[in-house]
Chain A
Amino acid sequence: MMDDILGLARPKPAGDAPRLKALVRRRLGLGADSTVMVSELRCHEDGCPDVETVVAVLAAGRETESWKIPKPMARITEQDLAALPAR
């Protein structure tokens, strides 16, 4: 398919979300009552990574915690999650 020459397309990290969510769950030791949200944000500004990934943990009655990882979802490995508090 043709490229997104205007840079307006939403990042579509097909297939990487479940893998990353599983990594986050393992790292944080999350149970079934927590939901992990992962999303890529694109930026064209100087000084910003072109694509960064937001990881958020949502659970009823608890404040949402989130972290940013300055790379696309597909390139995130377990080592990149070191900043998340292990449980």
Chain B
Amino acid sequence: MSEKKVPATILTGYLGAGKTTLLNRILSEQHGKKYAVIVNEFGEEGIDNELVVDADEEIFEMNNGCICCTVRGDLIRIISTLMKRADDFDGLIIETTGLADPAPVVQTFFVDEDVQQKVDLDAVVTVVDARHFLDAVDDAHELAEQVAFADTILLNKTDLVDADTLAAVRRRIASLNRFAKVMETVHSAAPLDQVLHKRAFDLSRILEIEPGLLTEEDDHEHDANIISVSLTTDRPLEPQKFSEWIRGFIMERGVDVLRTKGILNLFGQDNRYVFQGVHMVMDSAWGAPWAETRRSSKLVFIGRNLDQAELDASFQACTVAA
């Protein structure tokens, strides 16, 4: 039996944004790769391929004193079945409904041990309709969450809006998620090598895939319910202090924190400590040695009702000099 892990891409987007168009491009272009696809019953158009129809979003909640996470039972079942023939395809694509909360889909890949052994969550790709985004985003929390969760955003249907509207859409996207890569497209025509196999959840690539991470503070509108917060410090972090703070914060506010990423300079350690989380589900690893590079800790949150100043004060209080 093959030991290779299959990369899985989660494809989200509001109704009519162009998800299925992208999916059909992935399935029809000549790239020499074969994809298994899990779709849902709300697909706007047909998909001409081998596929598994996902009829129900079965939400299964796991919790204890520290963690509450919801996973998609139907996905675990379907993926477990698909993995018996994993040698038959090069990747897995999960298209969610336009109204789906991405969190249970993402967390499914963090929870089941067999899924983890056989599948690598590659990235969350969100397709956004440039024409309808601004009208819909304030009333449709699913749309805001799909953007907030994304590693890659296809800003689609850009031919249907003028330059000012496009700029406003980009600003609004950035206010929700400053760290996703945004590609402007017409008919979802993005280069597929920039959409698939991005390894966005690979801890060793957390910074590599986000070259703009934490480089600037800009004055995006902060009236949004969901915002991105970035924190940085050049002083080393005291491990015990930081651990207690982050675990307490995630336990208390994990429902509101959609995604977390960090690369840490821990006092007394020669290597970077990298971690990420989706709501309350976290994972971490030791990264490359700092060696001669300038040591700096960076922490990113995307979530609801986050207070940048309060978070920064708590973060800075975890440094050894504090």
Interface residues of A (CB under 8 A from B): 1-2, 4-10, 12-14, 16-18, 21, 35, 37-45, 47-48, 52, 54, 56, 58-60, 64, 66, 68, 73
Given contacts A44-B247, A52-B64, A56-B73, contact A38 B239 (CB under 8 A): no
Contacts of A68 in B (CB 8 A): 64
Secondary structure call for the B interface: mixed
Of A4, A39, A44, A47, which is in contact with the most chain B CB atoms at under 10 Å from its CB?
A39
19 additional A-B residue pairs with CB within 8 Å, beyond A2-B286, A5-B273, A45-B66: A5-B269, A6-B246, A6-B273, A6-B275, A7-B243, A9-B275, A9-B284, A10-B110, A10-B282, A13-B113, A21-B114, A37-B71, A37-B73, A38-B112, A42-B66, A42-B67, A48-B66, A56-B60, A58-B60
A18–B62 CA distance with the chains assembled, in angstroms:
20
Check A35–B80 contact: CB distance below 8 A: yes
Given contacts A6-B273, A8-B283, A37-B112, contact A58 B243 (CB under 8 A): no
Contacts of A18 in B (CB 8 A): 114
Q: Does B271 contact A (CB under 8 A)?
A: yes
Residue B284 contacts which of A6, A14, A60 (CB distance < 8 angstroms)?
A: A6
A56–B113 CA distance with the chains assembled, in angstroms:
12
A26–B117 CA distance with the chains assembled, in angstroms:
22
Contacts of A6 in B (CB 8 A): 239, 242-243, 246, 264, 266, 273, 275, 284
Q: Does B294 contact A (CB under 8 A)?
A: no
- Report the nearest B residue to A47, measured CB to CB: B65
A21–B282 CA distance with the chains assembled, in angstroms:
24
* Distance to closest chain B CB from A14 (angstroms): 8
Check B76–A4 contact: CB distance below 8 A: no
A47–B64 CA distance with the chains assembled, in angstroms:
11
Residue A4 contacts which of B117, B247, B284 (CB distance < 8 angstroms)?
A: B284
Interface residues of B (CB under 8 A from A): 58, 60, 62, 64-67, 71, 73-74, 76-77, 80-81, 110-114, 116-117, 239, 242-243, 246-247, 251, 264, 266, 269, 271, 273, 275, 277, 281-286
Check B114–A8 contact: CB distance below 8 A: no
Contacts of A5 in B (CB 8 A): 239, 243, 266, 269, 273
Check A58–B76 contact: CB distance below 8 A: yes
A79–B271 CA distance with the chains assembled, in angstroms:
42
* Distance to closest chain B CB from A27 (angstroms): 18
Check A8–B275 contact: CB distance below 8 A: yes
CB pairs A–B below 8 angstroms (11 shown): A1-B286, A4-B284, A8-B246, A9-B284, A17-B117, A37-B60, A37-B71, A40-B113, A45-B65, A45-B251, A60-B77
Contacts of B65 in A (CB 8 A): 43, 45, 47-48
A16–B117 CA distance with the chains assembled, in angstroms:
11
Check B282–A39 contact: CB distance below 8 A: no
- Report the nearest B residue to A1, measured CB to CB: B286
Residue B247 contacts which of A8, A35, A54 (CB distance < 8 angstroms)?
A: A8
Contacts of B77 in A (CB 8 A): 35, 58-60
* Distance to closest chain B CB from A72 (angstroms): 12
Contacts of A38 in B (CB 8 A): 112-114
- Report the nearest B residue to A40, measured CB to CB: B113
